[in-house]
Amino acid sequence: MAAPDRTSAGSLAGKVAVVTGGASGIGRATAFLFAEEGAAVTVADVDAVQAQQTVQTIIDRGSRALYVRTDVTSDEACQNAITRTIEEFSYLDVLFNNAGIIHRTSVPNTAEADWDRVMAVNVKGVYLMSKYAIPVMARGGSIINTGSGWGLVGGHDAAPYCASKGAVVQLTRAMAIDHGAQGLRVNCVCPGDTDTPLLAQEAEQLGINEQTFRAQAAVRPIGRVGRPDDVARAVLYLASEASEFVTGATLVVDGGGLAGQAP
Mean pLDDT by runs of 10 across the 263 residues of the chain is 44 97 97 98 98 98 98 98 98 98 95 98 98 94 97 94 98 98 97 87 85 86 93 98 97 93 62
Give the per-residue pLDDT at 263: 61
What are the start-end ranges of the H helices in the chain? 25-36, 48-60, 75-89, 112-119, 125-133, 159-179, 197-206, 210-217, 228-239
Instruction: Give the strand order in the sheet containing 250-253.
Output: 65-69, 40-45, 16-20, 94-97, 141-146, 184-191, 250-253
Residue at 32: amino acid letter? F
Distance CA 236, CA 15 (A): 12
- How many helices (H) and strands (E) would you count in the chain? 9, 7
Give the per-residue pLDDT at 116: 98
Domains in the chain: boundaries: 16-192+227-252
Give the per-residue pLDDT at 191: 96
Q: What share of the chain is helix, strand, coil (3-state, %, to 5)?
A: 50, 15, 35
161 in Cβ contact with 155 (< 8 Å): yes
Q: Which CATH number fits domain 16-192+227-252: 3.90.180.10, 3.20.20.10, 3.40.50.300, 3.40.50.720?
A: 3.40.50.720
Give the per-residue pLDDT at 7: 35
Phi and psi (nearest 5°) for 46? -85, -20
What is the pTM (predicted TM-score) of this model?
Answer: 0.93
Distance CA 173, CA 1 (A): 31
Residues annotated as catalytic are 161
